[in-house]
Amino acid sequence: MKNHTVQKLIYELVSKLFVFPIYKLVFKGHLIGRDNIPQTDSFIMVSNHGSLLDPPLLGHALGRNISFMAKADLFLALLSRLVELIL
């Protein structure tokens, strides 16, 4: 339970401090059809994206904590890039 609370806090901080300014100020983002998204029930959102910014921006636009599915290769590539940056 404690781990979930920490994850939620980090999610909220990143969303408010980084994603929100990019979404609203840089891209002037807005969501069309918000009334079609259930507020309490689960749902599957499928979208095409053209950049690495699309998933976090979509997550912020939905206004809910979301989980992403992707091929494991994408996460391994990201992890290897992070290791390269550190070393």
Claim: this prediction has a pTM higher than 0.85: no
Q: What is the pLDDT of residue 1?
A: 55
Q: What is the pLDDT of residue 79?
A: 66
- C-beta neighbour count of 83 within 10 angstroms: 9
Structural domain that includes position 59: 2-86
Strands in the chain per DSSP E: none
Q: What is the pLDDT of residue 63?
A: 76
Q: Which residues of the chain have pLDDT under 50?
A: none
Q: What is the pLDDT of residue 45?
A: 82
pLDDT tens-digit profile of 58-68? Answer: 877 887 777 77
Instruction: Let me know how long the chain is.
Output: 87
Which DSSP state fits 39? S
Q: What is the pLDDT of residue 87?
A: 59
Number of domains in the chain: 1
Q: What is the pLDDT of residue 35?
A: 87
